[in-house]
Structure formats: structure tokens, C-alpha cells
Amino acid sequence: MIQYLTNNHVIVWQALQEHLYLALLPILFGFAIALPLGYLAVRFTWLYHPLINTFGVLYSIPSLALFVFLPVILGTKVLSPVNVVVALTIYTVALLARTVADGLRAVDPVVVQAATAMGYRRTRRLVDVELPIALPVILAGLRVATVSNISLVSVGSLIGIGGLGQLFTRGFQLFYLEPILIGVILSVVLAGIADLIIVLVQRAVTPWTRAA
Amino acid sequence: MITFEDVVKVYPGGTTAVDHLNLELPTGKITVLVGPSGCGKTTSLRMINRMVTPTSGRILVDGADVSQQNEARLRRSIGYVIQHAGLFPHRTVLDNVATVPVLLGQTRRAAREAALGLLERVGLSAEFAKRYPAQLSGGQQQRVGVARALAADPPIMLMDEPFSAVDPVVRAQLQAEFLRLQQDLGKTIAMVTHDIDEAIKLGDHVAVFRTGGRLAQFATPRELLAEPADDFVASFVGRDRGLRSLSFDSAAELPVRPVDGIDLDDSGRPLGLPGVFTKDDSLRVVTDLVISSPGGIAVRVGPDGAADGLVSHHDLADYLASRRS
């Protein structure tokens, strides 16, 4: 395995970078889209169920099918990484919109009312009071989405883009175990580190959850 | 002064919460809105800071119609305390208290500094400043709630059942401290409670509401006990209102007989009694002592603690009878 790594470190390193970028970019996009969507689902209660159900259906589409169909819908090239980014963004939104909505809905209405009575306007109340209180729930959703994205990127290798997943296809093609093992280990380590970072951020920004 | 002018609130669905309310809450005084649940007292309170919009009628604060004022700015100028304090769980005690000053544009640093002084004022030491609400008892949270409402020094405070979520011992303590605080501050306070005893204890004026959002009586606690407007108020005030009305009568004029036949120590202080009274106490205290002391005698003491007079069952009964004629 060491032998394989020394000979192929350029490929492995590139695959790792690509993997990271393909997994995390959709998290950024997805979060940016899910935040307003989740808020709207709480603000307009009639929107909650249609929205959550729609994303439930979207999330149930197999990733491979999405990778294959997106070029048809988007007009992108079949081998474009855009397909993977868009597909994973959809999954991220599907997971996070619900988490954001549920997190905001769980904020004690008494606290929201107190904030209003003290003279908070809607937007500042959302930023200063509701979102911070919903943060533990939202960050828990973010952990799931991040880990799930990191594992899903590998599926993209079946259409030629897949970060560490390419090590799997290569291994299968050559009947060679080393790249597969290295790919698996690196994916798991990557997911573990990403998860740990979010947990550390959560500890830093929500000290109040550990009080009492 | 807060003025309700013919205020009506009908909720969608047709429930009348407040029915043609006319009421004046005097400046610098505590006015308690009291009544059974569903009588519109909380709705009335929440119309003052526009948390609820009246169906018709006007509410004026010092002559200015609240509906003409900017909502958020109006609310920042009115302190608000609620039952379970409603503190922000994600902010420290200090930052909770600093909330409104920061909203008003003060720097966080200046607001925190002022907040520290306020904590002390409501009886919380500086060690609480960095804690989170979840680390406080109910009574402590309520103190923070009061400090938070006072932080921007608003002329008006609205308090919705502020002391009803804590146990009776803590409640009595909070009530006493609240009265002391109000003596210094002289805020115009509107307080809602369902507890008539609390209303009588805390209110300079009491507005009794009946179910259906109608004002049954607006009076001082003393008037309320002595002359309830109708059967509803009389029954709401309770059966022992005669006894309770004695809380408003001073024992200063109560004639006493010379000290005789009780055990005294070397400096003339009575020994072995459940309690004594002074000229500053109310007749209710004296009555209680007469009833509960073993010999049926209440002992009055002077400023030095030495006994200076006795009152028996008979003396008290005669005095109460003479006051009535």
C-alpha cells in the first residue's frame, strides 16, 4: 500500500482534493438555499408540508440516476463536475431545509414573544434570537449532510467524476486492492475530520447548550 | 398615564376579549388588572405595547395614541416582564439584561456595565452575570426578567403574572423587593394577575375584570375590600375581606392597657411570645397576635423593643366596633 502511495501520490492527492471540493461546495450552496427556504416554511405555515414533502421526494431519487439525468436537464456535459455539485446541492437542501424549519419551529414561542415585546423587528429577531437558538438543531443537520455528501461523491466515479471514488473504479478495473483500500480509508478519515470540525464549531458557538 | 378609551377587542371567531373598556392607569403608580381567566386582562395589557391590536377604541400613553407610534420604538420604551421570564437561553444573564439598551444603539460594553448595576439592584450578585438562564432557579430568572425590563429605564412597565411561576416563599420575597424597588423608581406599572391577594398587596389601584372582558370595578385595594361594587366583585375578593381590609388600618390609634402579668427580661422586652407589634403595624397583625398568642393578648413594643402596652380580645373588638360607628 505504501508502495502504491509513493508511486501514485500525485493522483491520490488530486483525487482527495477533488473529493473535498465536490463534497463541500454543495454544502455551502445547499446551506445558503436551505436557510431562506426553511425560514419561509416556518413563516408561512401552509408552506411547511408541501416543501418538506417535495424535498423528501427529491432526497429519495438515487444519486446515480440524478448524475445521469442532470446533464439532460441542465444541458451540461455528461463528464462535467457541475452535475455532481448540483446533485449533491439538491440533497443538501433536502436535508437542511427541513432541519432549519424544525430548528426554528422548536424555538420557545414565549422567548420569541418576549423578543418582540422588547422591540425586536422581524429580521433582527431572526438573526439575533431565533437562529442562534435553533443552531444546535441546524448544526446537527449540517453534520449529517456533510458526512452524507462525502460518501455520495464516490458514486460520481461511475460517470467519471468522483474524487476518491476514482480510486475504486481504478482498483476494480485492475483487479487491484490497494487503491480501493486507500480510497475507503481516506473517505472515512475525511468524513471523520469534517464531522469533528463541525462539532468543534458547535461547541464554540453554543456554549449555552452545555450550561445547567 | 395610560388611558383606555372605549377599547374593544373581538378575536376572529367572534370571542369578545375586551368589551368597551375605559380605564386610566395613573402615572407613577401600580395598577393591577385582576380577574378570572378569559376576562381580557392579559389582552388589555398587551394592547398597551401593541402586541395585540384593538378592534376599536384608542389607547393613549401620556396623551399620545399608541397606534400612531412606531411599533418597535414604542416597545423599546415600555418594559415587559412575563410569567416564566422568557429569557434568551443563548445569552448570558448580563447580555439578557443589556438587550434593550443594545437595541437602542448603546455599545455592548456600556450596556453590559449598566446591566451589572441593575443585577445588583434586583438582588443578584455579580457572579450571576456570566451564567446562562438554564443555570438559574425560577426566582432568579424572574429577577433577571425584571432587570431586563428596567434596563432602558422605561417610564412604563407591563408585567404579566410576573410572580406566579415561583413557589409561595420566593413569591412573597419577590413581591416585597418589587415594592421596595418601585418606591425608588416610581414607574407607571400595569400588572396582570389572577391572584386577588397579590392584587391587593401590590396595587395602588386594582381593576377587577369579569368574564367577557368587562370592567367590574376600578378602585384602591381598600375601597375594593370595604365596598365591592357588586356580588361578582364581592365573591371574587373573597369571604375574609373584612379581616384582610384590616391590613390597611394602622395600629397607631389602638388604645392599649398598661403592661402587667407577662414575663419581661431585664430591659423590659417580653419573653416567650410568638410575636409582638409596633405602632407601625396594621390592625391585621394585631388581630392575628391576639388570636394566636396563648393568653389571648397582643403585646405592643416601643422602638427599643421594650413592652409598652397590651391589647386583649375585648379591647380589639371594642376598638373595631367604635371605628364602625
Q: Chain A residues with CB-CB distance to B under 8 A?
A: 108, 110-111, 113-121, 124, 129, 132-133, 135, 206-208, 211-212
How many cross-chain Cβ pairs, A to B, lie less than 8 Å apart? 65
Q: Which domain holds residue A14?
A: 2-207
Please compute the mean of the pLDDT values over residues B47-74 and round it to a whole number.
95
CA of A205, closest CA in chain B: separation in Å?
Answer: 10
Q: What is the pLDDT of residues A91-149, one digit of tens each?
A: 999 999 999 999 999 999 999 999 999 999 999 999 999 999 999 999 999 999 999 99
DSSP per residue over B168-214, as a string? HHHHHHHHHHHHHHHHHH--EEEEEES-HHHHHHH-SEEEEEETTTE
* CB B34 within 8 Å of CB B41: yes
Query: Is residue B85 located within the same domain as residue B174?
Result: yes
Statement to judge: residues B229 and B256 lie in one domain: no
* pLDDT confidence band for B272 (50 / 70 / 90): confident
User: Is the same domain home to B92 and B220?
Assistant: yes
Based on the fold, state whether residues B190 and B294 are members of the same structural domain.
no
Q: Please give the pLDDT value at position B73.
A: 94
Nearest to A120 among B103, B131, B132 (CB): B103
Give A212 or B323, the one with higher predicted confidence.
Answer: B323
* Structural domain ending residue among the three candidates B200, B215, B246: B246
Question: Are B182 and B302 found together in one domain?
Answer: no
| pLDDT of res. A212 | 65
Can you give the CATH number for the domain in which A191 is found? 1.10.3720.10
Contact B86 A129 (CB under 8 A): no
Q: What is chain A's Cα-based Rg?
A: 20
Mutate to test the interface with A, among B47, B80, B88, B192 (most CBs of A within 10 A): B88
How many structural domains are present in chain A?
1
Report CA dihedral (B252, B255, B259, B260) to the nearest 10 degrees: -150
The enclosing domain of B288 has a CATH number of 3.10.580.10
How distant is the Cα of B296 from the closest Cα of chain A, in angstroms?
51
Q: Are residues B269 and B223 in the same domain?
A: no
The residues pairing with B4 across neighbouring beta strands, listed in sequence order, are B23, B59
H helix or E strand, kind and range, residue B320: helix B313-324
CATH number of the domain where residue B133 is located: 3.40.50.300
Band of pLDDT at residue B88, cut at 50, 70 and 90: very high
For residue A111, the chain B residues in CB contact (below 8 A) are: 86-89
| Residues B278 and B195 grouped into a single domain | no
Do B212 and B270 lie in one domain? The reply is no
Domain span including residue B229: 2-246
Say if residues A37 and A97 touch (Cβ distance below 8 Å).
Answer: yes
> How many CA atoms lie less than 13 Å away from B298 in the CB half-sphere?
28
**Same domain, yes or no: B167 and B218:** yes
Please check whether residues B27 and B149 belong to one and the same domain.
yes
Select from B96, B105, B100 the least CA-distant residue to B130: B96
Residues of A in contact with B91 (CB under 8 A): 208
Last residue of a domain, one of B246, B268, B296: B246
User: Pick from A111, A118, A132: which is nearest to B75 by CB?
Assistant: A118
> Do A119 and B72 make contact, defined as CB atoms within 8 angstroms?
yes
Same domain, B217 and B254: no
Nearest chain B residue to A114 by CA distance is: B86
Question: Is residue A163 in a domain?
Answer: yes
Mean pLDDT, chain A, whole residue set: 90
DSSP result, B236-302? HH-TTHHHHHGGGSBSTT---BPP-SS-B-TTS-B-S-S--B-TTSBHHHHHHHHHHSTTSEEEEE-
Q: Quick count: other Cβ atoms within 10 Å of Cβ A74?
A: 12
**pLDDT tens figures, B25-53:** 999 999 999 999 889 999 999 999 999 99
* Interface list for chain B against chain A, based on CB atoms closer than 8 Å: 49, 51, 72-76, 80, 82, 84, 86-91, 99-100, 103, 131-132, 134-135, 148, 158
| Among A113, A133, A212, beta carbon nearest to B135 | A212
Using one digit for the tens of pLDDT, what is the confidence trace for B289-300?
888 887 788 999
Contact A115 B103 (CB under 8 A): no
- Of B195, B230, B246, the position where a domain reaches its end is B246
Residue A30 lies in a domain: yes
**Counted domains in chain B:** 2
Contacting residues of B for A135, CB less than 8 Å apart: 90
* CB–CB contact A113 B51 (8 Å): yes
Instruction: Please write the tens of the pLDDT for every residue from B113-163.
Output: 999 999 999 999 999 999 999 999 999 999 999 999 999 999 999 999 999
Report residue A72's pLDDT band, with 50, 70 and 90 as the boundaries. confident
Shortest distance, CA A51 to any CA of chain B (angstroms): 28
Q: Is residue A22 part of a domain?
A: yes
B87, A111: Cβ pair inside 8 Å?
A: yes
Instruction: Tell me whether residue A212 is in a domain.
Output: no
A34: closest CA among A113, A162, A152, A134? Answer: A134
